[in-house]
Structure 1
Amino acid sequence: MKVRIGAIGPPDSLKIIREVVGWDPRIELVEFEYFGSEELPGIMSKHRYDVTQWIFSGQVPYYYCLEKDLISEKEALFPPQHGMALLGTCLQVMEEQGRFVSKMSLDTVDGDIVNSLFSEYHLEKISFNLLSYQRYREYDEIIDFHYENVKSGRTEVAITCLLKVYLALQKLGIPCYRIVPPKTAIKTVLDLLVSRALSQVYEKQKVAIVGFELIGHGENLQKAVYNFEEQQKELEFELELLQIAKKLNGSLVNRGSGTHFIYTTQGDYELLISERPFSQIANEINLKTSLRFNIGIGCGYTIHGAEQHIQRAFEYEGIEDGRKIIYVDEDGISTSQFGGQGNELLPNNSLPAFWNQVLKEHGYREQIPLKIYQYIKLKNIPQFTSDMMTLLLKNTERNSRRILSELEQMGLIRVMVEENPSRKRGRPKKAYELVLEEEK
């Protein structure tokens, strides 16, 4: 399985990232060129969930996206500017200037790295006027910093990590050089991103137990007459849970005393709540049956772990009011009220703009394509078949083939593998993958 990683940076940085990825068969790279921070919101809003992880060319675009909530720390990294990249750029300055240059202005790179590196190699004769900063600074500030230093004679040349600053200084006639991310740093970051992505796939396979506990069930059984209406409500309650179990691709188990567990996976649970909050599902059951119940959700890497977590959920103080959903996993406990959002909503509950446009042009309802798209993305499935879609959509093999054929004709999916019909009897099987943007 290949990990789909998005790369954001200027052309020269993307070229180096592309070269490093060429050594790693685990990665499928998707490139996005940018020249200024103003382009980042458009890129991220359109493509954020088209890839599993992101690599940024440097700290400025990374922290810009982080502070604007365009990305989270769990989704992206950037290669730090290692000292060797700076040392190599300084050698380039000497070579091109044809003389020893002792005074330079430098942005972005941490001052401790500069002092440590040049002290280690006894290069104290080279002095830097530094503009080090955490997170990101506006381009105009950085450009003014270098311009004023060179024009005033405090420095002879400018060294920057930012392409936009480099191009602006060149237009202003300032001798300028650019540091690009070193391949060793890029390789380290890509290894971390691949490990993180594979870990996320493992997370989707965790055991999830969704438990429902009727309030007052024991009191009903102790009544002299357990009337028909109460029995009917509990039967309706079980039928509702069966429907949820089907959507979760799970198994419903009656644990007695009015308690029911649905055994499923973390990925299937996330897929369900990506369509609508679990609190909304609970409200609908409550309205249909007029029964009060608690909901506990336990997730773990084993069945035993998940069962321990759901036990903690049902023992949580305050759950007995019949209006709370308690979620427990290795990270702890989170709660939400029926009708609230809690931690249920996933960020990716819509189709990419390209899919929306194509479906609209063909007058095709988005409900089934949305379900297929979300399932494939949540499960991180590189290729899928009609058999898989038959299980997902709960329909016939023939209908699944028809739907996939329609999506293929619209250019939303494409055939990757087709079995040789001469080797097997019957219709050859096709394996598909998603098409995330229009192919030129």
Structure 2
Amino acid sequence: MIGVIGSPDSVALALAVAADIGLADQVIGRSYSHVDDVPSISQDLDRVCQVLLFTGRVPFSQAVGGEHVLHATVDFVPHTAIDLYRTLSLVLLRNGGHIPTVSIDTIDEDVVAEVFNDLGVTSAFRVLSLDAGRGRLRSSDEVVRFHLDALREGRATMSLTCLGAVKRTLDEAGVSVMRIEHTRSTLRQALSRAASALKMAEVEGSQLTAAVLRPLDNQRRHLPPPHVRSFSEQLRGVARPAADGTWVVHTTIAAVQSMTLAGGAGVPEGWAVGYGAGATLLDAEANARRALALAGDDHGPFTVFPDGSVFGLEATGVAGYRLRETDDLLLSHAREMGMRPLTLARLTVALRGLDPSAFTARELAAAYGGEARSARRMLATLQRAGVATVRGAEGPPRAGRPQAVYQIDVDLLVPRR
């Protein structure tokens, strides 16, 4: 499904356009009364939609910048030149064929200049980008202030805004203002892109996948307990025993994602799980066993993909890296430090869960998914490379040997591009 999220009028128009192009049964619309509601609405639709389409950049940024990680493909409908053409046509009709000096937000200044040139309009205009630098978008208050300042300074006599909240505020202030709304053409193009993304997601979701389960207690090797059977049913498969005491479930990546999104961590009590995807069931099972080896008894579940990418499912909070690393810069950087490329890639991910300025070998081992002595060897290598240093010691709560506290210079660890 495609989830459309935006203001009530934008969502209503998007649904009408979807019906016109035969997508009515594939599109769900949800509108918000305030942009702060977007993250929770996005989270709800993320459970049932493979694609989320936002009718503006502001709600899109609210959703992707939230705490919840969205699993759907996300996109937004940009305000385009054709939207501005339509608005200026309405301005011409309102003003007897004349376009006054205007202030415009959101649309790129180059696009505005091109549209004015195409129409032969010589009136002056001022443009404000939503980008405030460093990845931040301007607030609606900042955009309102831009329009009011342009009017007060005599640089504009009319405001054109893409933001509903800004239009409402300017209307209340008695300002001559018009909203730049999406045309049906713009929405049709965006919905067509979303439909293509949906088809791609459905194809990828059918990829062959295997789950391999290993009992943490050797006495459980003979018959799968009820919760393992329930686990296989959630994956729409059947658990079958393997000669090594593990159990294998053949499924699809979509089934794995569906179970995870429904709130399950994917790990039956007393069992370790690894997921693998592949071109054949044999490949998928081999990758699942690699994921199971990575997980150990205390980490995971992981998923290993055909290209060597490794991802921890959302419930574990683990990011991704690759089992098969081919990046030339990473390869050469790893050689310079005396490490294997995959070790460096995995270490970089592990450090995201630590404070790189103060951690112990035991803490690194827990984040990395190994033993403390292996972490100490890794840190010794990094010390020789000048990347890690000992900054102090941490005493145990009882009598015992104090642990060294390390710090890593992340700028030296990660290769510059």
Q: Which residue of 1 aligns with 2:123?
A: 126
Q: Which residue of 2 aligns with 1:82?
A: 80
Distance 1:64 1:295, change over 3 A: closer
The code of the aligned residue for 1:278 comes to G
The code of the aligned residue for 1:184 comes to S
* SS state at 1:170 partner: helix
Q: Tell me which of 311, 324, 332 is aligned to 1:334.
A: 311
Report whether the alignment pairs 1:256 with 2:243. yes
Gaps of 5+ in 1: 216-228, 286-293, 345-440
Report whether the alignment pairs 1:303 with 2:278. no
Q: Tell me which of 274, 284, 293 is aligned to 2:270.
A: 284
Q: Which residue of 2 aligns with 1:269?
A: 256
Determine if contact 2:100/2:158 at 8 Å carries over to the other structure: no
CA-based RMSD = 3.6
Q: What is the CA–CA distance in structure 1 between the aligned matches of 2:48 and 2:233, rounded to whole Å?
A: 28
Provide Cα deviations, 1:401-435, integer angstroms capped at 9, x if missing partner. Answer: xxxxxxxxxxxxxxxxxxxxxxxxxxxxxxxxxxx
Distance 1:343 1:27, change over 3 A: farther
Deviation at 1:74, TM superposition (A): 3.7
Moved more, 94-103 or 183-192: 94-103
Q: Which residue of 2 aligns with 1:191?
A: 192
Q: Which residue of 2 aligns with 1:398?
A: none
The code of the aligned residue for 2:166 comes to V
Report whether the alignment pairs 1:108 with 2:109. no
The code of the aligned residue for 2:311 comes to S
The code of the aligned residue for 2:83 comes to A
Q: Please, what TM-score do these two structures have when normalized by structure 1?
A: 0.59
Provide Cα deviations, 1:89-131, integer angstroms capped at 9, x if missing partner. Answer: 2232233122533521001111222233334x27462322111
Alignment of 1:113-262 (within 5 A): 113-119=111-117, 121=118, 123=120, 125-134=122-131, 136-212=137-213, 234-236=221-223, 244-246=231-233, 248-262=235-249
Q: What is the CA–CA distance in structure 1 between the aligned matches of 2:149 and 2:240, rounded to whole Å?
A: 73
Q: What is the CA–CA distance in structure 2 between the aligned matches of 1:233 and 1:31, rounded to whole Å?
A: 47
* SS state at 1:22 partner: helix
Distance 1:328 1:98, change over 3 A: same
Distance 1:330 1:190, change over 3 A: farther
Provide Cα deviations, 1:63-111, integer angstroms capped at 9, x if missing partner. Answer: 1232234673844322211112212322322331225335210011112
Alignment of 1:366-381 (within 5 A): none
Distance 1:251 1:64, change over 3 A: closer
* SS state at 1:90 partner: helix
Provide Cα deviations, 1:318-345, integer angstroms capped at 9, x if missing partner. Answer: 66x6544442114611358xxx72569x
Q: What is the CA–CA distance in structure 2 between the aligned matches of 1:67 and 1:42, rounded to whole Å?
A: 12
Q: Which residue of 2 aligns with 1:9?
A: 7
* SS state at 1:262 partner: strand
Report whether the alignment pairs 1:18 with 2:6. no
Deviation at 1:8, TM superposition (A): 2.0
Distance 1:73 1:255, change over 3 A: closer
* SS state at 2:186 partner: helix
Provide Cα deviations, 1:252-286, integer angstroms capped at 9, x if missing partner. Answer: 4444244542223334434555453234x2x524x
The code of the aligned residue for 1:263 comes to H
Report whether the alignment pairs 1:95 with 2:96. no
Q: What is the CA–CA distance in structure 2 between the aligned matches of 1:16 and 1:243, rounded to whole Å?
A: 43
Among all aligned residue pairs of Structure 1 and Structure 2, give the percentage whose two residues are the same amino acid. 20
* SS state at 2:191 partner: helix
Q: What is the CA–CA distance in structure 2 between the aligned matches of 1:9 and 1:25, rounded to whole Å?
A: 22
Alignment of 1:286-435 (within 5 A): 295-310=273-288, 312-313=290-291, 322-325=297-300, 326-330=302-306, 332-334=309-311, 341-342=316-317
Distance 1:172 1:342, change over 3 A: closer
Greater RCO (CA < 8 Å, at least 6 residues apart): 1
The code of the aligned residue for 2:114 comes to S
Provide Cα deviations, 1:362-389, integer angstroms capped at 9, x if missing partner. Answer: xxxxxxxxxxxxxxxxxxxxxxxxxxxx
Distance 1:64 1:207, change over 3 A: same
The code of the aligned residue for 1:163 comes to G
Q: What is the CA–CA distance in structure 2 between the aligned matches of 1:208 and 1:237, rounded to whole Å?
A: 20
Q: What is the CA–CA distance in structure 2 between the aligned matches of 1:90 and 1:175, rounded to whole Å?
A: 14
Gaps of 5+ in 2: 320-417
Q: What is the CA–CA distance in structure 2 between the aligned matches of 1:275 and 1:342, rounded to whole Å?
A: 14
Q: What is the CA–CA distance in structure 2 between the aligned matches of 1:257 and 1:240, rounded to whole Å?
A: 20
Distance 1:244 1:183, change over 3 A: closer
Q: Please, what TM-score do these two structures have when normalized by structure 2?
A: 0.62
Determine if contact 2:18/2:24 at 8 Å carries over to the other structure: yes
Q: Which residue of 1 aligns with 2:63?
A: 65
